[in-house]
C-alpha cells in the first residue's frame, strides 16, 4: 500500500521547506522486502493552495456586500408594493429568490475557505442536540410551511451532551434539514432522528425527495433545484471530520435519501 505524508525539513542553510514523502513497498514472492521512499518539495503546491483560498475568500467578501444591498432593496420594494401589479410582484419575487441563492453560495464559499484554512473558529462547549434541532426547525418554518412538508421528530432517551459547540451544531442541523426540505416534494415528509450511540450520538435526516444515483448530485436534481449550492453537505463533512466523527448516506433514486452523522 502506497503511503503519502508531508513533513517540514531543514536545508543546510537553515531554511525550512515542506516535503511530501511517498513510501511504496517492494513486494517479492508475496513478501515485503523493502520500501522505496521519494521526497518531493511541495512548497509551490502549498503556495498555490494558499493563493487560491485567499482569492476565493477575498472575492466572496467583495461579492457579499453588493448582493446584500440588492436583497435589502428588493425586500423594501416588495414590502411597499407601491403601484406594482401582481405579475410585476411575481417577477421581483423570482429575482429575490435568485439573489438569496447567490448570497447562500457566497456564504458557503466563505465557510468552505475558512474550514480549509483552519480559520473557522469552533467554540467548544457541551450542547443539547435536540434543543439545537428544534431551534433550526423553527427557523425553517417558513420553507416547511410553503411546501406543506410534515416534519417527524424522533429523539431518543438519554442522549448525551456533546462537546461540539452551538455554532458547529447549528451548521450541521441547518444544512442537513434545509437540504432535506429543499429536495422533498410538496406535501412530503422529512424525518429527523437523534439517538444515543456507543461513541456519543447519531443523527439521521431522511427525505422522500429525488434520491442520489451516484456520489455526485445527479442531473435530475440540478434541473429541478437550480439554486442548490452543493456546499452544505461539504461543510458538514469537513466539520464532522474535524471533530473525529463520520458522515455517510443511503439513497434510492425516486424514493429519497437519508444522511447520517455520527458524533463523539
Mean pLDDT of 22-43: 87
Residue 97, helix vs strand vs coil:
helix
Of 95, 165, 93, the residue nearest 128 (C-alpha)? 165
pLDDT value at 46 more than 90: no
Q: Which three cell numbers stand for residue 119?
A: 480559520
What is each CA distance from 169 to 106, 181, 234, 243, in whole angstroms? 21, 18, 15, 11
The pLDDT value given to residue 117: 59
Quickly state the pLDDT bin for 1 (edges 50, 70, 90): low
Which residue reads 427525505 in cell numbers? 207
pLDDT single digits (tens) 193-245: 999 998 899 999 999 877 765 544 444 444 444 344 456 787 888 888 888 89
Q: Using N-to-C axis directions, what is the helix angle for 166-183 and 232-242, rounded to 10°?
A: 150
Q: Cα(243)–Cα(55) distance, rounded to whole angstroms?
A: 27
For the purposes of burial, counting CB atoms within 10 Å of the CB of 5, is it exposed (0-12), middle (13-18) or buried (19 or more)?
Answer: exposed
pTM for this prediction: 0.61
* More reliable by pLDDT, 218 or 29: 29
Every domain of the chain and the residues it spans: 3-41, 53-116, 126-263
Examine the pLDDT at 102 and tell me if it is beyond 80: no
pLDDT above 90: residue 149: yes
Instruction: State pLDDT tens for residues 151-162.
Output: 999 999 899 999
Contact 207, 257 (CB under 8 A): yes
Q: What is the pLDDT of residue 179?
A: 87
Q: What is the CATH number of domain 126-263?
A: 3.30.565.10
Residue 251 phi, psi (nearest 5): -150, 145
Q: What are phi and psi of 128, to 5 degrees?
A: -95, 110
Three-state DSSP at 216 gives coil
How high is the pLDDT of residue 81? 67
- Give yes or no for a contact between 165 and 123, defined as CB atoms under 8 angstroms apart: yes
Of residues 163 and 81, which shows the higher confidence score? 163
| Alpha-carbon span 43 to 144, nearest angstrom | 48
- Mean of pLDDT over the chain: 81
Amino acid at each position: 500500500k502506497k503511503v503519502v505524508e508531508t513533513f517540514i525539513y531543514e536545508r543546510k542553510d537553515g531554511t525550512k521547506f515542506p516535503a511530501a514523502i511517498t513510501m511504496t513497498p517492494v513486494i517479492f514472492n508475496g513478501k515485503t522486502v523493502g520500501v522505496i521512499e521519494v521526497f518531493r518539495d511541495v512548497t509551490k503546491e502549498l503556495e498555490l493552495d494558499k493563493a487560491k483560498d485567499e482569492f476565493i475568500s477575498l472575492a466572496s467578501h467583495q461579492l457579499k456586500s453588493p448582493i446584500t444591498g440588492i436583497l435589502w432593496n428588493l425586500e423594501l420594494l416588495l414590502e411597499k408594493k407601491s403601484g406594482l401589479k401582481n405579475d410585476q410582484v411575481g417577477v421581483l419575487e423570482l429575482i429575490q429568490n435568485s439573489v438569496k441563492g447567490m448570497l447562500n453560495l457566497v456564504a458557503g464559499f466563505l465557510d468552505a475557505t475558512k474550514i480549509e484554512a483552519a480559520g473557522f473558529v469552533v467554540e467548544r462547549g457541551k450542547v443539547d442536540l435536540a434543543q439545537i434541532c428544534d431551534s433550526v426547525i423553527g427557523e425553517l418554518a417558513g420553507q416547511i410551511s410553503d411546501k406543506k412538508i410534515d416534519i417527524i421528530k424522533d429523539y431518543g432517551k438519554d442522549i448525551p451532551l456533546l462537546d461540539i459547540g452551538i455554532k458547529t451544531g447549528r451548521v450541521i442541523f441547518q444544512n442537513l434539514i434545509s437540504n432535506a426540505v429543499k429536495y422533498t416534494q410538496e406535501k412530503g415528509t422529512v424525518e429527523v432522528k437523534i439517538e444515543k450511540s456507543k461513541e456519543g450520538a447519531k443523527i439521521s435526516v431522511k427525505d422522500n425527495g429525488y434520491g442520489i444515483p451516484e456520489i455526485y448530485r445527479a442531473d435530475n436534481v440540478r434541473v429541478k433545484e437550480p439554486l442548490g449550492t452543493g456546499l452544505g453537505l461539504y461543510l458538514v463533512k469537513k466539520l464532522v471530520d474535524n471533530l473525529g466523527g463520520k458522515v455517510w448516506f443511503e439513497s434510492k433514486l425516486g424514493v429519497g435519501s437519508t444522511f447520517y452523522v455520527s458524533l463523539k
